């Protein structure tokens, strides 16, 4: 399926644009699905903690508008005197009165109040607490308290406490935990109780009591910013000062501050790991747990500062993911089948840059899920490189196809597997060289339309090349209407002469088929003449420094080229040298045509017509050849009358045998006018 999609990306620009957009849409939805649990993903939580630690080091501020009166280990060391951990209205009332007189902005009691009317405190004790609360309210100092949600219901204080203190100053104390039990997120309302009039969390209630304009609450919850330090004072010390009436101290320390009162002792069961635990821990001794009252204080600080870590709306995240993935995949749109130096690194760069983007946003109190975004960008990067890899394979395949169009497939394969093969060098090789040429091509080209001429020439080349490659030949070059091919190079072939002859015979048959098609289409008849020679040549890469050609050269090549035109003397199609005949006569039928001497060579050589593979020569042609060769012996012995009789016998076997007809005429000429005494029967070819 992926391969099919990648194949579609080879289409036009608009098609690629639509496919990329569809891919970005799917990746963006996948990112939303991955990121929906937020920091509940373990690795996401660890990244969140790391960024928060760096943010704390960067900011390093201390809140001077909040203070925690901590029921610490010192306080609990004398429980019979203070006993504050279980709500004691006398103790807490005394402390509250002092805080009110000291000018505290709000008092947040992080302690569930009695839930039943029956408890060990007297009415006088309770009255002390209630009077302190009422005094605070008269001075516009909110006193806030908490309750807890059980699994199926809220555990509210008794009706008496609710009536006196007011339900509007109440918030739930439950905290939300991630999978690693850390507290990172503060819920606004408890998820299982979502009626409009249900109380907010304790921290939201506290923050709203001192800032009535706090209405832009962030969705269903917000991430707590633990980066600030909140001062803590011992409950034991503060209570002693309250008993001693040290009002100057209270005014100096608590004026215009939000005062949290809660348990921070080492035996406190209401304490949890937080992101701050990672870098405030004590040298590998486990989590440095943070008490719930401190967590609530950090929540209030987060709300009041406006620096609460906002997670964008899902649609904003979708737009972000779509934009980033589109940027990462945009090179697919703009750089198909060509190198793009800038675009090549863009997908990887976007994936690498995303965590830094998240960190910069985090420092500005915007939280982008790192794992979700990075996952889809890595996936986009993988898709891009899969596309580029496939594109490279396609381009390589195209290059290989182009290479084999310009080079012999065997030579192209050797070059691709061994680039050293491109060095300019040569070697001596025993090969068979083949040339072919069209009769009358020049005059035909002058009288034909260019398009039609090229079409005919291409059909001719296709026909000849099919037979050449069928028998392992290497097309050295196409020059005009001429073809040069080699057997035995660049790859060795033990029977290269036989292969060359079989290929030439196949070319002759295929040319007959082509001419039937051309005649039916009212196009010119094509006649190809062929010459074959076997011998030693220099084979290798020859040419200029930046332009080379694998070819063969030497006297054997020149002779093969000269044999092509000899066909015109005997009206034959395929002529081979005596060296070729010696190598191939075990499987090919030949007949001697004549003795010739070519210009530039000493001595004469016998040339042969390539007739057919062994066993495929017809009886009539076999008898014709027998008479012809016997006649040729008489001819070279100057017995022209005996030769003529046998040439005529050959023509009776095959009236269309052109060599017999031509030699018959020669014999008649010599009978009428005998040659001189130096005549040796050799035909001298003056033209090259």
Tens of pLDDT along 331-376?
877 754 444 555 567 788 888 888 888 888 887 778 888 888 888 8
Q: Is the pLDDT of residue 435 over 90?
A: yes
For residue 70, is it within any domain?
yes
Residues 515 and 552 in one domain: yes
Residue 236 above 90 pLDDT?
no
628 in the same domain as 586: no
537 and 600 in a single domain? The answer is: yes
pLDDT tens per residue, range 195-208: 767 788 899 889 88
DSSP run (H or E) holding 94: helix 89-101
The Cα–Cα gap between 595 and 584 comes to: 19
Which structural domain, as residue segments, surrounds residue 683? 618-688
Among 39-48, 179-188, 398-407, 550-559, name the one with the lowest average pLDDT. Answer: 398-407
Which of 578, 593, 617 corresponds to the end of one domain? 617
Asked whether residue 132 falls in the same domain as residue 155, the answer is: yes
Residue 311 resides in a domain? no
Q: What is the mean pLDDT of residues 389-418?
A: 57
- Give yes or no for residue 404 having a pLDDT over 70: no
The answer to the question of residue 356 being in a domain is: yes
The answer to whether residue 316 sits within a structural domain is no
Compute the average pLDDT of residues 12-20: 74
Tell me, yes or no, whether 386 and 482 share the same domain: no
Query: How far, in Å, CA of 222 to CA of 371, rounded?
Result: 19
| Separation in Å, CA 676 to CA 456, 636, 671 | 48, 13, 12
Angle separating helix axes 123-138 and 89-101, nearest 10 degrees: 20
Question: Counting Cβ atoms within 10 Å, is residue 427 exposed (0-12), middle (13-18) or buried (19+)?
Answer: exposed
Task: Report which of 666, 632, 669, 672 is spatially closest to residue 650, judged by C-alpha positions.
Answer: 632
The predicted pLDDT at position 336 comes to 47
Residues 237 and 367 in one domain: no
Domain boundary among 376, 402, 428: 402
For residue 336, give the nearest of 2, 28, 4, 20 by alpha carbon: 20
If you average pLDDT over residues 385-397, what whole number do you get? 69
Indicate whether 318 belongs to any domain: no
Same domain, yes or no: 298 and 262: yes
The most confident of the ranges 81-85, 438-442, 629-633 is 629-633
Task: Please tell me the number of Cα atoms within 13 Å of 680 on its side-chain side.
Answer: 10
Q: Which residues of 480-499 are buried (b: 16+ CB within 10 A; e: fewer)?
A: ebebbbbbbbbeebebbbbb
pLDDT at 442 over 80: no
Indicate the number of domains in the chain. 4
The Cα–Cα gap between 586 and 494 comes to: 14
At residue 478, the 3 state secondary structure works out as strand
> Do 153 and 279 belong to one domain?
yes
219 inside domain = yes
Do 363 and 488 lie in one domain? The reply is: no
Give yes or no: residues 473 and 366 share one domain.
no
- Say which residue, 254 or 119, is predicted with more confidence: 254
Q: Which pLDDT value is given to residue 280?
A: 47
Q: Does pLDDT of 538 surpass 50? A: yes
pLDDT of residue 391: 67
| 608-641 burial: b if 16+ Cβ within 10 Å, else e | bbbbbbeeeeeeebeebbebbebbbebbeeeebe
Please spell the DSSP secondary structure of 297-358, one letter per residue.
HHHHHHHHHT--BBPPPHHHHHHHHHHHHHHHHHHHHH-TTS--HHHHHHHHHHHHHHHHHH
Q: Is residue 414 part of a domain?
A: no
Judged against a pLDDT cut of 80, whether residue 27 lies above it is answered with: yes
Q: What percent of the chain has pLDDT over 70?
A: 82
- Please give the average per-residue pLDDT across 19-44, as a whole number: 78
What band does 79 get if pLDDT is binned at 50, 70 and 90? low
Q: What's the pLDDT score for residue 467? A: 92
Region of 450 on the Ramachandran plot (φ > 0 left; ψ -120 to 50 alpha; else beta): alpha
Domain co-membership, 375 together with 467: no
Calculate the average pLDDT of the chain. 81
pLDDT tens digit sequence for 622-656: 999 999 999 999 998 889 899 899 999 999 999 99
pLDDT of 423 higher than 80: no
Domain end call among 617, 646, 675: 617
288 versus 279: which is more confidently predicted?
288
107 closest CA partner among 302, 246, 254? 254
Instruction: Assign 7 a pLDDT band (cuts: 50, 70, 90).
Output: low
Which structure tokens are listed for 358? 């998240």
Containing 222, the helix (H) or strand (E) segment is strand 221-223
Asked if pLDDT for residue 411 goes beyond 70, the answer is no
In a domain, 134, yes or no: yes
* Domain CATH code at residue 507: 3.30.70.1230
Angle at 563 between CA 558 and CA 565, to 5 degrees: 110
**Does 114 lie in the same domain as 128?**
yes
């Amino acid at each position: 399926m992926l391969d099919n999609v990648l194949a579609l990306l080879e289409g036009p620009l608009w098609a690629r644009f639509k496919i990329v957009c569809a891919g970005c849409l799917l990746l963006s939805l996948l990112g939303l699905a991955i990121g929906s649990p937020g920091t509940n993903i373990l690795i996401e939580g660890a990244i969140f903690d790391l960024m928060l630690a760096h943010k704390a080091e960067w900011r390093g501020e201390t809140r001077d508008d909040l203070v925690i009166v901590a029921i610490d280990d010192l306080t609990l060391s004398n429980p019979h005197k203070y006993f504050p951990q279980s709500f004691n209205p006398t103790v807490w009332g005394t402390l509250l009165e002092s805080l009110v007189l000291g000018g505290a902005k709000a008092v947040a009691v992080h302690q569930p109040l009695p839930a039943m009317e029956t408890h060990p405190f007297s009415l006088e004790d309770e009255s002390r607490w209630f009077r302190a609360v009422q005094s605070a309210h008269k001075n516009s100092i909110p006193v806030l308290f908490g309750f807890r949600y059980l699994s199926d219901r809220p555990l509210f204080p008794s009706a008496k406490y609710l009536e006196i203190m007011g339900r509007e100053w109440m918030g739930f104390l439950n905290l939300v935990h991630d999978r690693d039990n850390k507290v990172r997120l503060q819920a606004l309302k408890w998820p299982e109780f979502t009626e409009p009039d249900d109380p907010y969390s304790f921290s939201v209630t506290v923050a709203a009591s001192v800032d009535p304009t706090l209405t832009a609450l962030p969705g269903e919850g917000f991430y707590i910013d633990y980066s600030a330090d909140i001062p803590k004072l011992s409950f034991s010390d503060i209570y002693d000062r309250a008993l001693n009436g040290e009002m100057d101290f209270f005014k100096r320390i608590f004026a215009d501050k939000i005062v949290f009162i809660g348990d921070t002792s080492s035996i406190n069961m209401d304490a949890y790991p937080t992101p701050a635990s990672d870098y405030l821990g004590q040298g590998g001794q486990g989590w440095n747990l943070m008490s719930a009252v401190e967590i609530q204080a950090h929540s209030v600080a987060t709300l009041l500062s406006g620096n609460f870590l906002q997670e964008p709306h899902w649609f904003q995240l979708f737009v972000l993911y779509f934009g980033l993935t589109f940027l990462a995949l945009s090179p697919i749109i703009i750089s198909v089948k060509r190198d793009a130096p800038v675009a090549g690194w863009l997908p990887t760069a976007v994936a690498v840059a995303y965590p830094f983007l998240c960190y910069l946003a985090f420092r500005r109190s915007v939280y982008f899920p790192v794992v979700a975004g990075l996952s889809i960008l890595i996936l986009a990067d993988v898709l891009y490189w899969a596309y580029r890899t496939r594109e490279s394979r396609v381009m390589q395949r195209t290059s290989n196809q182009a290479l084999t169009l310009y080079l012999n497939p065997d030579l192209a394969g050797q070059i691709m597997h061994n680039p050293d093969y491109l060095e300019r060098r040569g070697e001596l090789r025993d090969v068979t060289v083949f040339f072919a040429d069209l009769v009358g091509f020049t005059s035909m080209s002058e009288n034909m339309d260019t398009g039609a001429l090229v079409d005919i020439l291409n059909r001719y080349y296709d026909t000849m090349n099919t037979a050449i490659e069928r028998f392992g030949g290497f097309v050295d070059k196409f020059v005009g209407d001429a073809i040069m091919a080699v057997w035995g190079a660049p790859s060795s072939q033990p029977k290269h002469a036989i292969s060359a002859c079989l290929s030439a015979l196949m070319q002759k048959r295929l040319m007959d088929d082509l001419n039937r098609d051309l005649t039916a289409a009212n196009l010119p008849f094509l006649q190809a003449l062929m010459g074959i020679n076997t011998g030693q040549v220099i084979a290798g890469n020859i040419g200029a420094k930046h332009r080379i050609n694998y070819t063969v050269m030497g006297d054997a090549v020149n002779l093969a080229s000269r044999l092509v035109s000899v066909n015109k003397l005997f009206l034959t199609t395929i002529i081979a040298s005596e060296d070729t005949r010696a190598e191939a006569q075990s499987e090919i039928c030949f007949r001697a045509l004549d003795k010739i001497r070519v210009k530039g060579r000493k001595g004469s050589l016998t040339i042969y017509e390539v007739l057919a593979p062994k066993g495929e020569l017809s009886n009539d042609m076999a008898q014709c050849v027998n008479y012809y060769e016997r006649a040729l012996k008489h001819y070279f012995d100057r017995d022209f009358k005996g030769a003529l009789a046998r040439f005529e016998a050959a023509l009776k076997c095959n009236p269309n045998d052109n060599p017999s007809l031509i030699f018959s005429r020669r014999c008649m000429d010599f009978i009428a006018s005998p040659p001189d005494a130096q005549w040796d029967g050799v035909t001298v070819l003056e033209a090259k």
